[in-house]
């Protein structure tokens, strides 16, 4: 189950309205490499993970991503909450505004609505962990791209925090992959699915799955 | 920053350290020194959370409420100021 804590993982306090920047940052809410996809990806993949360390990592990172989704929502909300019509037009925010006003809607920067097609849950831990490693790097690049367009220190600060978390998560997923392959017969890494073909685990260290 | 924000920032700093250590322990479950560090931070943050909740309202719903349901109280985490 999940319990809500009435607190952001890292504080967000933005003073200057900036709808043009909000339009870019919304991509990390519901875009192809955004936090919504990240949380759904890990929280879905964890069910078929064969080792306890992997179940724990995917549960905890998936949960943390929900906290990041909330932070991105707070950033976009604060960047747009005191908008006037002139700012909306000048920033090109009118296309978002006409459908969502200043509400927070999961879409990409280009306005494409969120879709589960952004994620995969393949039921093979080697495949899924490779996707997770790639996902963290894609999210990191997206944050790097956001930073290129961002000169407000109040926005940069939480964005840099989120970027750093992608790097840490990448490290943890790398350790997950290592933990898994260490327990497999090295001849069989890609000949079997460790979640489906249980015989591929080394006999000497075969654990209760 | 208001007194509330300063205290909340302190709490979120410790809570973040706790989250990051817990994630590390998922792949290093036998690391004694990190387990000790985790317990140390948990001990440090507990009185800070108690102080915050007494002064500004609950962070989790499990807290006691007698006369009024304090959970609904502003500000919510995405609010920028202490709105009433």
| Predicted confidence (pLDDT) per residue in A15-64, tens digit | 999 999 999 999 999 999 999 999 999 999 999 999 999 999 999 999 99
Instruction: Give how far A8 is from chain B: nearest CA, Å.
Output: 6
Q: What is the pLDDT of residue A47?
A: 98
> A64 and B23: CB-CB below 8 Å?
yes
Mean pLDDT throughout A4-17? 96
- CA distance to partner chain A, nearest, from residue B76 (Å): 7
Rounded to the nearest angstrom, the minimum Cα separation between A162 and chain B is: 12
Q: In angstroms, rounded to a whole number, what is the distance separating the alpha carbons of residues B1 and A8?
A: 16
Q: What's the pLDDT band for A209 if we cut at 50, 70, 90?
A: very low
Between CA B80 and CA B70 the distance in angstroms is: 19
User: What beta strand segments (E) does A126-207 contain?
Assistant: none
Interface contact B26-A11, CB threshold 8 A: no
B61 contacts on A by Cβ (under 8 Å): 3-4
3-state helix, strand, coil in chain B (%, to 5): 65, 0, 35
SS3 content of chain A, % helix, strand, coil (to 5): 60, 0, 35
Q: What is the pLDDT of residues B10-57, one digit of tens each?
A: 999 999 999 999 999 999 999 999 999 999 999 999 999 999 999 999
Rounded distance, CA A64 to CA A161, Å?
A: 13
Min distance B29 CA to chain A CA atoms (Å): 8
Nearest to B60 among A5, A61, A172 (CB): A5
Kindly list the residues from chain B whose CB atom is less than 8 angstroms away from the CB atom of residue A77: 78
> What is the model's pTM?
0.94
pLDDT band (50, 70, 90) for residue A151 = very high
Task: Return the residue in A3, A4, A5, A63 with the most chain B beta carbons within 10 A, the one to mutate for interface testing.
Answer: A5
Nearest to residue B45, comparing CAs of B7, B4, B73?
A: B7
pLDDT of the residue at A201: 80
**A153-182 vs B3-27: helix crossing angle, rounded to 10:** 20
Torsion A197-A201-A202-A204 (CA) sign: negative
**Percentage of chain A exceeding pLDDT 70:** 96
Cα–Cα distance measured from residue A12 to residue A29, given in angstroms and rounded to the nearest whole number: 15
What is the structure's pLDDT at B40?
A: 98
pLDDT, one tens digit per residue, over A152-173 is 999 999 999 999 999 999 999 9
* pLDDT exceeds cutoff 70 at B63: no
What is the mean pLDDT of the segment spanning A59-75?
98
Residue A176 confidence (pLDDT) above 50: yes
Beta-carbon separation of B27 and A172 below 8 A: yes
Please name which of B30, B32, B29 lies closest in space to residue B40, comparing C-alpha atoms. Answer: B32
Average pLDDT, chain B: 91
pLDDT attached to residue A203:
65
pLDDT score recorded for residue B21: 98
Residues A39, A41, A44, A45, CA torsion sign: negative
Query: Poorest-confidence range of A26-40, A67-81, A179-193?
Result: A179-193
Model confidence at B84, in pLDDT bands (50, 70, 90)?
very low
Q: Angle A52-80/B3-27 helices, nearest 10 degrees?
A: 150
Give the residue extent of every domain in chain B.
Answer: 3-79
SS3 A108: coil
Question: What pLDDT does A154 receive?
Answer: 97
Q: What tokens were used for A34?
A: 């955004």
Residues of chain A in contact with residue B77, where contact means CB-CB under 8 angstroms, are 6-8, 70, 74
What pLDDT score does B82 carry?
55
Q: If pLDDT is split at 50, 70 and 90, which confidence band does A180 have?
A: very high
User: B72, B18, B24, B6: which is closest to B46 by C-alpha?
Assistant: B18
Interface of A with B in 21-60 (CB under 8 A): 53, 56-57, 60
Cα distance between residue A201 and residue A209, in whole Å: 10
């Amino acid at each position: 189950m999940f319990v809500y804590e009435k607190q952001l993982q890292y504080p967000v306090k933005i003073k200057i309205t900036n709808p043009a920047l909000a339009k870019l940052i919304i991509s990390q809410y519901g875009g192809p490499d955004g936090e919504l996809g990240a949380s759904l990806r890990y929280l879905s993949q964890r069910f078929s993970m064969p080792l306890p360390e992997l179940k724990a990592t995917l549960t905890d990172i998936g949960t943390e991503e929900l906290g990041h989704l909330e932070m991105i929502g707070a950033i976009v909300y604060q960047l747009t909450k005191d908008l006037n019509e002139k700012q909306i037009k000048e920033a090109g925010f009118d296309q978002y505004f006409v459908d969502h006003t200043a509400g927070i809607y999961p879409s990409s920067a280009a306005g494409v609505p969120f879709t589960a097609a952004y994620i995969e849950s393949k039921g093979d831990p080697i495949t899924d962990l490779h996707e997770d490693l790639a996902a963290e790097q894609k999210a990191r690049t997206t944050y790097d791209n956001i930073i290129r367009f961002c000169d407000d220190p109040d926005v940069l600060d939480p964005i840099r925090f989120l970027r750093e978390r992608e790097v840490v998560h990448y490290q943890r997923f790398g350790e997950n992959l290592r933990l898994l392959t260490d327990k497999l017969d090295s001849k069989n890494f890609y000949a079997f699915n460790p979640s489906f073909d249980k015989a591929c685990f080394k006999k000497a260290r075969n654990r209760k799955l | 920053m208001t007194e509330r924000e300063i205290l909340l920032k302190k709490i979120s700093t410790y809570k973040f350290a706790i989250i990051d250590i817990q994630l590390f322990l998922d792949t290093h479950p036998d690391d004694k020194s990190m387990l000790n560090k985790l317990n140390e931070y948990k001990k440090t943050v507990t009185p800070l959370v108690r102080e915050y909740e007494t002064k500004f309202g609950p962070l989790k719903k499990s807290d006691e409420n007698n006369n009024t349901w304090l959970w609904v109280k502003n500000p919510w985490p995405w609010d920028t100021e202490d709105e009433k």
